[in-house]
């Protein structure tokens, strides 16, 4: 009988352990979702701060449309993550209710067993009764077995008492956890309701903006064409500079090695430059951001227009929105190989990392000059702030020789 009860106790402990592991897994998932939700909330705050500046340039609806589109997308992600958190909490609450019910049943069984033991112990409490129980044995072997039984009974009684204390504590903790989880769920529901209201307002703002754009379609198209023309002009200058730098660098390498290799599309790497290029490649996906703080407002590659999806745009780099007064910084050690200066436009810096080139454009002030050797995180220049709309944006490009690269694949979580 004692062994059977001990078996039941061990089964209960095993089930408790399995339940504990499930709770730990759910807690880790909850923490991951909370971190994701916090990141999305920060991104929305950054969008409001960096993309919706205090001043509004009259008629510049293109940037406003892009910003609204981005914010709506992030808001939808936030709502999805909050729903996932709420569903996970529901599962945790249901699991806790089942555990509480099971613990109450276990506690009742333990208390009933313990009560019977106390009653029997009281009936046989005298030392004389125990002694007589031993002396009435038919032989020494039976007396030994009775002694073992008495010891086992005493140990089991102690274990039952300890189990009651443990189960009572577990029950109290689960009740407390359940109350906390219900409060957390209520907060999440309220926040999700608020996020949905904000999303509705943003969608309405987007609809209103779309209507105003379609009333002035010619003005919008002219704005698009102007932006495309400016972007192509900068792209051409960047790529022409890269080719001219490759030619000049290769002439220098030929002179040093005594060779006569002519190419304008690929760097002839010295042993030192090869090491830098290998280190740069080894850090793919781990390179630092070209600004200390900011958000990506435009990604790399071909994308559809926010107003007229049939119109395609192409970005050879990424655009990062940051705070006024922010500085561009080198993403990796390298050599300043060129200074860009578009007539009537802004300034830029090109840095060579072996056969990789990073370009930082839309600077108002420069802190480096051609030929400088820079370290990672070294400041290159102050990023220009548009006084009309209050926006501060860095245009960042990455090349391997003359091949365009997607900076999002190289810079950490860009």
Tens of pLDDT, residues 326-378: 999 999 999 999 898 866 668 999 999 999 999 999 999 899 999 999 999 99
Which residue among 186, 215, 244 closes a domain? Answer: 215
Q: Determine the Cα–Cα distance for residues 201 and 400; give it in Å rounded to an integer.
A: 44
Between 201 and 132, the higher pLDDT residue: 201
Check: CB of residue 349 under 8 Å from CB of residue 380. Answer: yes
What percent of the chain has a predicted confidence (pLDDT) above 70? 67
Same domain for 92 and 238, yes or no, is: no
What is the total count of domains within the chain? 2
Same domain for 73 and 183, yes or no, is: yes
| pLDDT single digits (tens) 176-197 | 766 677 777 777 777 777 777 7
Same domain for 211 and 325, yes or no, is: no
Same domain for 135 and 162, yes or no, is: yes
Same domain for 160 and 228, yes or no, is: no
- Domain interval for residue 43: 2-215
Q: What is the CATH number of the domain that holds 252?
A: 2.70.70.10
Same domain for 211 and 269, yes or no, is: no
Neighbours of 214 (CB within 10 A): 11
Same domain for 233 and 205, yes or no, is: no
* 336, β-bridge pairs: 351
Which residue among 158, 184, 215 closes a domain? Answer: 215
Check: CB of residue 406 under 8 Å from CB of residue 301. Answer: yes
Same domain for 179 and 239, yes or no, is: no
Distance in angstroms between the alpha carbons of the first and the last residue of the chain: 66
Which residue among 215, 238, 270 closes a domain? Answer: 215
This prediction has a pTM of 0.61
Q: Determine the Cα–Cα distance for residues 146 and 131; give it in Å rounded to an integer.
A: 11
Between 118 and 380, the higher pLDDT residue: 380
Q: Determine the Cα–Cα distance for residues 246 and 370; give it in Å rounded to an integer.
A: 15
| pLDDT single digits (tens) 74-124 | 888 878 888 777 777 777 777 767 776 776 776 677 666 666 666 665 555
Specify the pairing of strand 403-405 against strand 379-383.
unpaired
Same domain for 297 and 339, yes or no, is: yes
Same domain for 231 and 326, yes or no, is: yes
Question: Mean pLDDT across the stretch 47-51?
Answer: 66
Same domain for 201 and 226, yes or no, is: no
Same domain for 137 and 83, yes or no, is: yes
| Structure tokens, 196 | 């949905």
């Amino acid at each position: 009988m004692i062994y059977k009860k001990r078996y039941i106790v061990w089964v209960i402990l095993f089930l408790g352990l399995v339940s504990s592991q499930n709770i730990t897994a759910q807690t880790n998932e909850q923490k991951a979702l909370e971190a994701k939700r916090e990141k999305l909330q920060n991104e929305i705050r950054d969008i409001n701060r960096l993309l919706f500046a205090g001043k509004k340039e009259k008629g510049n609806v293109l940037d406003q449309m892009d910003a609204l589109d981005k914010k709506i997308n992030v808001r939808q992600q936030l709502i999805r993550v909050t729903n996932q958190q709420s569903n996970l909490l529901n599962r945790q609450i249901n699991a806790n209710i089942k555990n509480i019910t099971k613990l109450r049943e276990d506690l009742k069984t333990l208390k009933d067993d313990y009560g019977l033991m106390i009653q029997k112990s009281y009936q046989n409490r005298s030392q004389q009764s125990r002694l007589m129980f031993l002396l009435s044995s038919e032989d020494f072997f039976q007396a030994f077995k009775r002694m073992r039984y008495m010891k086992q009974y005493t140990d089991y009684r102690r274990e039952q008492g300890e189990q009651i204390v443990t189960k009572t504590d577990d029950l109290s903790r689960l009740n407390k956890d359940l109350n906390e989880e219900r409060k957390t769920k209520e907060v999440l529901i309220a926040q999700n309701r608020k996020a949905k209201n904000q999303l509705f307002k943003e969608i309405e703002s987007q609809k209103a903006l779309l209507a105003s754009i379609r009333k002035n379609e010619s003005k919008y198209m002219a704005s698009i064409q102007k932006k495309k023309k400016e972007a192509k002009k900068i792209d051409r200058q960047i790529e022409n500079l890269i080719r001219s730098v490759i030619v000049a660098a290769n002439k220098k390498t030929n002179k040093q090695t005594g060779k006569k290799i002519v190419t304008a599309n690929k760097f002839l790497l010295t042993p030192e430059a090869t090491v830098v290029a290998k280190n740069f490649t080894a850090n793919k996906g781990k390179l630092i951001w070209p600004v200390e703080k900011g958000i990506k407002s435009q990604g790399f590659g071909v994308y559809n227009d926010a107003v007229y999806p049939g119109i395609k745009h192409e970005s050879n780099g990424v655009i990062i929105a940051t705070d006024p007064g922010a500085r561009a910084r080198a993403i990796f050690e390298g050599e300043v190989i060129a200074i860009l200066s578009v007539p009537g436009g802004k300034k830029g810096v090109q840095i060579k990392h072996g056969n990789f080139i990073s370009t930082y454009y839309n600077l108002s002030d420069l802190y480096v000059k051609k030929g400088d050797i820079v370290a990672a995180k070294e400041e290159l220049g102050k990023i220009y702030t548009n006084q009309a709309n209050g926006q501060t944006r860095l245009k960042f490009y990455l090349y391997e020789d003359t091949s365009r690269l997607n900076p999002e694949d190289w810079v950490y979580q860009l």
